[in-house]
Amino acid sequence: MSFTDKTLTCSDCNASFTFTAEEQEQFQSRGYTNEPKRCPECRQARKAERGGSGSGNSYSNGGFSNRSYSSAPRQMFPAVCSDCGKETSVPFEPRQGRPVYCSDCYRKVRTRY
């Protein structure tokens, strides 16, 4: 199937933008069936507004780029296991009144449910 550039209208700012033949081929190869509804500038502004910094596939300056997950280490929080009392670290901020488990105790607790 051969593609030709299309002029689309942004749903946010009503500006016209070009959905290139190359972008259309990339959309099809990824199984996307809908055309983009936002211009590159509005896509980028929306992404920044949501705090998306670039994990997964995304548009950047109107072109398609493949970005991988961030290599930054995950933030961990110190905690004491509610079951065995062992000091551990967890990938979320523990809250008062909510149990926190080390990985061994979590495996045991998880099978209960």
Walk along the chain (113 residues) and give the pLDDT tens digit of each residue: 688 999 999 999 999 999 999 999 998 988 888 999 999 999 999 988 887 555 444 454 455 555 555 667 888 899 999 999 999 998 889 999 999 999 889 888 887 65
Considering the domain boundaries, does residue 24 fall inside one? yes
Q: Does residue 72 sit within a domain?
A: no
Instruction: Verify that 12 and 53 share a domain, yes or no.
Output: yes
Residue type, 85: G
Residues 107 and 86 in one domain: yes
Domain that holds residue 58: 6-67
Residues 62 and 97 in one domain: no
Same domain, 51 and 86: no
Burial class of residue 43 (count of CB atoms within 10 Å of its CB; 0-12, 13-18, 19+): buried
Does residue 82 sit in the same domain as residue 59? no
Judgement on whether residues 49 and 88 belong to the same structural domain of the protein:
no
3-class DSSP state of 21? helix
Assessment of whether the complete model's pTM goes beyond 0.85: no
